[in-house]
Amino acid sequence: MVIKQVTPYLYFNGTCEEALAFYSEALDGSVRESQTYGDADVGAAQDSNRIIHAQLDVNGHLLMFSDIPNDDDSLHKTHNIYVVLEFETEEKLTEVFNIFKEGGQVLMPLEKTFWGQSYAKLIDKFGIGWDLCFTHQE
């Protein structure tokens, strides 16, 4: 079996719209689409303003987003999966790290590593885990 593409899907508990705007600005991305539960005419009335599906294009790479329904306890935040972002420049890595750490939890501060990268690990203010890295060109 050949995998054509792997796309991270990020879930939120009522903060998807805010998160989408945050990541769009921080990562210089553009929102491809965004639809609420109300637009799709599905779910309970209390979910009508929550995002059922959104896509963010980041330099040709796709991130997908959704709010979980109010009555869905199955999609709680876990930190056993992190989204890895590899940057073309160390400056952009530092910029995104500084944005993502605000209101979040830094698990490993931004530093050069023994494997030749600048690297940081954190959980942002939305509870999403991130590995941020830049490979130094020698």
User: Beta strand pairing status for 82-86 and 61-67?
Assistant: unpaired
Task: Return the ∠ at Cα 134 (arms to 128 and 137), rounded to 5°.
Answer: 170
Q: Please check whether residue 4 lies inside any domain of the structure.
A: no
Q: What is the count of structural domains for the chain? A: 2
pLDDT of residue 13: 87
Domain containing residue 42: 9-67
- Same-domain status, 89 and 53: no
pLDDT digits (tens, 9 = 90+) for 67-124: 888 766 555 555 567 898 989 889 999 999 999 999 999 999 999 987 778 999 999 9
Taking 80 as the threshold, does the pLDDT of residue 15 lie above it?
yes
pLDDT digits (tens, 9 = 90+) for 25-74: 999 999 999 999 988 887 777 888 999 999 999 999 999 999 888 766 55
Q: Please check whether residue 75 lies inside any domain of the structure.
A: no
pLDDT of residue 114: 73
CATH of the domain at 112: 3.10.180.10
